[in-house]
């Protein structure tokens, strides 16, 4: 029993179950297959952003520019598919990932090699990428009729009865989990996030690990930009404004330590589910849609508070068992 309650995700899972029951009682419509699928489809973009953000936060940094990388790649893809419809669409997928990688590399270079504080560095690049998105798109909007069906199919096409974007999200989640848990570069990210000095002593180059984590984050966000515009078939330079805060919030809720070195894909996944249920649940209740931000904020504060409190009490218990606190 103690093993179950001691699990870090225990509180999260309980919260998720309570929310689901609450939603089932108040808005039973939420549990039709169609609306569940739509809920997942529309919140999938946060899977990408949160996983990318998680990798960066674990390495001890933070990335505020993710939403702008998303907007940049979304704009470029919309522009290209509209101007050059003859080029095969999967090429745009590669373009999107490449754009994200270049942006992420720039972030990683500024943070890792030039040693600028992550918060400020990505705040600066945040402005830069958003402005670039505006310059490239020249402020234009793209509307649903301007998107090719083959392009949109990347997100809203169905494979085996499930939207493609959900497959992509699932793939990213699994890849991230494998990468972080079972590969050497993944473990290095944890090592650098936990303690830079000891990582350095054990022969890990911090600047390279930072560069890598930011590049991966950028690539995932670039991908998300393309899938986002394909999903909603609306694109402009301002898409995803404020998504970075939601992504950070999801990471925190999912038990990723903001100081770095801690966090699991599983926790983030549960947090995404929780956030998306809250969002759809609230939007289905009449007159409650204005409450969304306040409720999200309150939930994060409470979740982090509980997290810190349990961490402190387990530490105290450990000390007591060892007889240090007698």
Partner 1 sequence: MNEKKKWKLTGFLVQWEMILIYLLLLINILLMLARPNLYFASGTITSIIQSGMDLCPLVLGMALVMMMGEIDVSCAANMIFCSMTTGLLMDRGVPAVVCVLAGIATGVLLGMFNGVLVGYVGMPSVIVTISNSLLYRGVVKIILDVNVLRNFPDFYTKLAWNQIAGIPLAMIIFLLMAAVFVVILQKTGFGRKLYIIGNNAVTAEYSGINVRKTKLAVYLIMGVMCGIASIFFVGRMGGGVSSTMGVGYEMNAIAICALGGISTSGGKGKMYGPIISTFIMAFLIYTLGLMGVDANAKKTLTGLVLLIAVLIPNINKDLFASVRRKFRKI
User: Footprint of partner 1 on this chain (CB under 8 A)?
Assistant: 62, 110, 114-117, 119-121, 123-128, 130-132, 134-135, 139, 237, 242, 245, 248-249, 252, 258-259, 290-298, 300-301, 304-305, 308
Half-sphere exposure for 301 (CA within 13 Å, toward CB) = 6
- The H-assigned helical ranges of 183-291 are 184-194, 196-201, 206-232, 243-253, 265-284
Compute φ and ψ for 132, nearest 5 degrees. -60, -40
Going by C-beta distance under 8 Å and a sequence separation of 6 or more, which residues neighbour residue 268?
A: 50, 51, 54, 250, 251, 254, 255, 256
In the complex, minimum distance from the CB of residue 117 to partner 1, in angstroms, rounded to a whole number: 4
Whether residue 60 contacts residue 261, with contact meaning beta carbons closer than 8 Å, is answered with: yes
Shortest Cβ 53–partner 1 spacing (Å): 12
To partner 1, the closest distance from the beta carbon of 186 in angstroms equals: 24
Least Å from the CB of residue 145 to partner 1: 25
Nearer to partner 1, 84 or 315 (CB): 315
Shortest Å distance, C-beta 135 to partner 1? 6
Nearer to partner 1, 87 or 258 (CB): 258
CB of 26 to partner 1, least distance (A): 19
* CB nearer to partner 1: pick between 132 and 229: 132
Q: Which is nearer to partner 1, 22 or 119 (CB)?
A: 119
- What minimum distance in Å lies between the beta carbon of 248 and partner 1? 6
**Neighbour tally for 157: CB within 10 Å:** 14
Residue 52 or 186: the one with the smaller Cβ distance to partner 1 is 52
**CB of 120 or CB of 178, closer to partner 1:** 120
Q: Which is nearer to partner 1, 178 or 258 (CB)?
A: 258
Q: The tokens of 137 are what?
A: 């798109």
Residue 235 Cβ vs partner 1, minimum distance, rounded to whole Å: 15
Please say which residue, 121 or 189, places its beta carbon nearer to partner 1.
121
| Rounded to 5°, angle at Cα 113 from 112 and 119 | 45
CB 218 within 8 A of CB 45: no
Break the chain down into helix, strand, coil percent, rounded to 5: 75, 0, 20
Cβ proximity to partner 1: between 252 and 271 the closer is 252
DSSP reduced 3-state for 158 = strand
Shortest reach from residue 183's CB to partner 1, in Å: 28
CA distances from 234 to 97, 108, 169 (A): 19, 30, 20
Sequence-ordered strand ranges (E) for 107-203 = 158-159, 162-163
Residue 198 token pair: 């000891």
Locus of tokens 């570069």: 185
List phi, psi (to 5°) of 18.
-60, -45
């Amino acid at each position: 029993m103690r093993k179950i309650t001691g699990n870090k995700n225990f509180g999260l899972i309980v919260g998720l179950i309570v929310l689901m029951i609450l939603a089932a009682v108040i808005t039973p419509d939420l549990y039709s297959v169609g609306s569940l699928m739509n809920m997942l489809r529309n919140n999938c973009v946060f899977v990408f952003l949160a996983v990318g953000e998680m990798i960066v936060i674990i390495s001890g940094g933070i990335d505020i520019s993710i939403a702008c990388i998303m907007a940049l790649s979304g704009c470029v893809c919309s522009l290209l598919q509209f101007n050059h419809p003859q080029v095969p669409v999967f090429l745009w997928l590669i373009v999107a990932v490449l754009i994200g990688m270049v942006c992420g590399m720039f972030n990683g270079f500024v943070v890792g090699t030039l040693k600028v504080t992550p918060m400020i560095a990505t705040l600066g690049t945040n402005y830069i990428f958003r402005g670039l998105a505006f310059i490239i798109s020249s402020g234009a909007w793209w509307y649903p009729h301007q998107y090719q069906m083959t392009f949109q199919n990347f997100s809203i096409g169905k494979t085996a009865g499930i939207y493609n974007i959900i497959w992509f999200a699932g793939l990213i989640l699994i890849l991230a989990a494998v990468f972080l848990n079972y590969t050497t570069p993944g473990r290095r990210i944890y090592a650098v996030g936990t303690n830079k000095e000891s990582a350095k002593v054990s022969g890990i180059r911090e600047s390279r690990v930072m560069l890598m984590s930011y590049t991966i984050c950028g690539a995932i966000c670039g991908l998300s930009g393309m899938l986002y515009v394909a999903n909603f078939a609306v694109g402009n330079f301002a898409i995803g404004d404020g998504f970075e805060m939601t992504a950070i919030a999801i990471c925190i809720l999912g038990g990723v330590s903001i100081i770095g070195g801690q966090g699991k894909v599983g926790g983030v996944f549960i947090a995404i589910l929780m956030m998306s249920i809250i969002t759809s649940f609230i939007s289905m209740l009449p007159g409650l849609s204005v409450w969304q931000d306040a409720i999200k904020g309150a939930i994060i504060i409470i979740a982090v508070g509980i997290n810190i409190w349990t961490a402190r009490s387990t530490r105290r218990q450990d000390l007591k068992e060892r007889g240090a606190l007698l």
